[in-house]
Amino acid sequence: MDQLIEESNCIMNNDLQINLEKSYEFTYEEINCLTKKFQEVNVVIQFSTDEYFQGTDAEQLVKYSVALQFFKQTNNTQAQGICYNNMGAIHLKHNKINEAVDNFRKSVNLIEDALLQEVKCQNIHLFYKVRPINDGLLDKKKSREIKAYLYLCEAYQERFEYLEKKAKEEEEEDYNLEDALIKLNQGEDKLLQYEKIYKLFLEDDKLDDPPTILQQQILLQKGLFHKKFGNYKLACQYFKECIEFGSIQAKDIRNKCLLQLQEIFTKQGLIDKAPHIPKMIKENQSKPDKDVVFLLDQSESMGKTFRQKYALSTLLNIFDNYIGPQDRLAYVKFNQNVQVIYELNETKRNLTYMRDQIYYTKDIKPSGETALYLALLESFKLFKKVPEKNHRKWIICLTDGDDTCSTVSQKKVRRLLKSEEIGLIIVGIALNQAQTESLTELCVKTHDGAFIQSVESNDLHIALQSISNLVHANTQMAEGCIVESFY
């Protein structure tokens, strides 16, 4: 009790010393993390009354300088980086460019090492994930490491104007801005390693980013880098490559590239030669939530040559990449009969159940005939059973044949779907010419409908961009426009 009272008094007087021996820092990342937190608590106790942000700028600089020495002794790189950054901001406020740049550079250099270490364990859910049981698991951190290089590149670019001003004042030709490009190239090298690991280990891991999206981020940063230098021609090439890279693309990346292109084309008086850029920007805006019915053919012919496997793989891909948490989804299977597995419900409340019901269809052997039109009619009825919302309505159907036994006509189904502005996307599997023509006619006469010839076609991604905020990236940019660079 006496010891507790003594230590409590020390805390009140800010005199308590907490010393953690290095021997306690075991190799497990959880223990290391806990140790660092205790060290941070020690720093807070020591400096809780210093009021760094109070007083004049001169007084703050003195406080930061004193704190910096302590943080160097305790090897707290994060705190050192904050001190340098804040000192740089004070110098910049007083137009002391040289001092500001020196402090900013020290801050970035310090935080770089810490950042590349911390990406291994960004949150508690990743502790067990990244423990190096084998080389494959060790490399699971690669996507976060690539993001770290992107972050560092952005940090360098934010200081461009100050570095440029300093160089002009000192009459230097070298702006020392190649640091940002070096970080991008390092990130791109890491991406090549990560892409191989991703294909082997991580494709089903939702915590890791697809290599395609990371590559698009790198291309975007390269474009921004060269635009800063006034090398507009090369910048446009990178923005264009980013927009055309991969089959799908995150909306925010695409939008940034389009806005940069629009700015460059407008400055150079070329926007009239690229009228589709403003149109693409408008089309890239967020689309409303949607009601979607998955419709799967389970007739006997679907049991041939992996047809059911291809169909289920496609549905799961659509579920994972194109269905949002606010969307309502239904799942219907059919042969000569129609079976509603679940009606329209929000996916955020039933995510695991909904996906599992699609996945475990693989265990059911296809049989019977094909009542496609009857299944479309029953799908239509599902939209009428839920409260009306400002949602777009879609039916996505996978089938290997036209209707063989329905008591309802194609004409009636087409009329009903069109009356309620329900879009029909049919993905065909091993269809003959007559079946293709019949189902194409059915789709195109619905609201924004489309017929897809094959589950492996890029046309599927193009069609699905209509119902998603992920967009197809293979888009032709302005042809014949000569962009001049400014130096």
Which of 401, 408, 410 shows the shortest CA–CA distance to 443? 410
Which of 24, 48, 46 shows the shortest CA–CA distance to 35? 24
Residue 221 · residue 260 · CB < 8 Å: no
| Mutual angle of helices 410-419 and 433-444, in 10-degree steps | 30
Residues 6+ apart with CB under 8 A from 217: 147, 150, 253
Q: Report how far residue 258's alpha carbon sits from residue 239's, in angstroms, rounded to the nearest whole number.
A: 8
Q: So what's the pLDDT on residue 112?
A: 67
- 3-state SS class at 296: strand
Query: H or E segment at 66?
Result: helix 57-73
Q: Does some domain include residue 76?
A: no
pLDDT in 10s for each residue of the chain, 487 residues: 566 667 666 655 656 555 544 444 444 455 555 566 556 555 555 554 555 556 788 888 888 888 888 778 777 777 788 888 888 888 888 888 888 888 888 887 776 666 555 544 443 333 333 333 334 433 444 455 555 555 555 555 555 454 455 445 444 444 445 555 565 566 556 555 555 554 544 444 444 456 677 778 778 888 887 787 778 888 888 888 887 776 556 677 888 888 888 888 888 888 777 777 787 777 666 567 889 999 999 999 998 878 888 889 889 888 887 888 888 999 999 999 999 999 999 888 788 899 999 999 988 999 999 999 999 999 999 999 999 888 889 999 999 989 999 999 999 999 999 999 999 999 888 888 999 999 999 998 888 788 887 655 555 665 665 555 444 333 444 444 444 444 3
What sign for the dihedral angle of Cα 143, 85, 102, 118? Answer: negative
On the 0-12 / 13-18 / 19+ scale of CB atoms within 10 A, 248 is: buried
Q: Does some domain include residue 46?
A: no
- 3-state SS class at 454: coil
Q: Which residues pair with 393 in a beta bridge?
A: 291, 422
Q: Does some domain include residue 433?
A: yes
- 3-state SS class at 224: helix
Residue type, 418: K
Range of the domain at 301: 290-472
| Mutual angle of helices 160-169 and 142-158, in 10-degree steps | 40
Which of 427, 429, 473, 472 shows the shortest CA–CA distance to 452? 427
Q: So what's the pLDDT on residue 310?
A: 85
Q: So what's the pLDDT on residue 187?
A: 57
Q: Which structure tokens are listed for 150? A: 């992107």
Q: Report how far residue 436's alpha carbon sits from residue 433's, in angstroms, rounded to the nearest whole number.
A: 5
Residue with tokens 């919302």: 389
What sign for the dihedral angle of Cα 307, 457, 358, 449? Answer: negative
Which CATH number goes with the domain that contains 397?
3.40.50.410
Q: Report how far residue 237's alpha carbon sits from residue 348's, in angstroms, rounded to the nearest whole number.
A: 39
Domain count, the chain: 1
Q: Which structure tokens are listed for 424? A: 């029909």
Residue with tokens 């992920």: 470
The DSSP result for 159-221, as a single string, is THHHHHHHHHHTT-S----HHHHHHHHHHHHHHHHHHHHIIIIITT-TTS--HHHHHHHHHHH
Residue with tokens 């799961």: 316
Q: Does some domain include residue 1?
A: no
Half-sphere exposure (Cβ direction) of 246: Cα atoms closer than 13 Å: 18
Q: Does some domain include residue 30?
A: no
Residue 81 · residue 69 · CB < 8 Å: no
Q: Report how far residue 394's alpha carbon sits from residue 417's, in angstroms, rounded to the nearest whole number.
A: 9
Torsion angle of C-alpha atoms 20, 26, 28, 31, degrees rounded to 10: -20
Q: Which residues pair with 328 in a beta bridge?
A: 291, 346
Q: Does some domain include residue 425?
A: yes
Which of 166, 163, 60, 149 shows the shortest CA–CA distance to 113? 149
Q: Does some domain include residue 358?
A: yes
Q: Does some domain include residue 247?
A: no
Q: Report how far residue 112's alpha carbon sits from residue 78's, in angstroms, rounded to the nearest whole number.
A: 10
CB-CB neighbours of 317 under 10 Å:
14
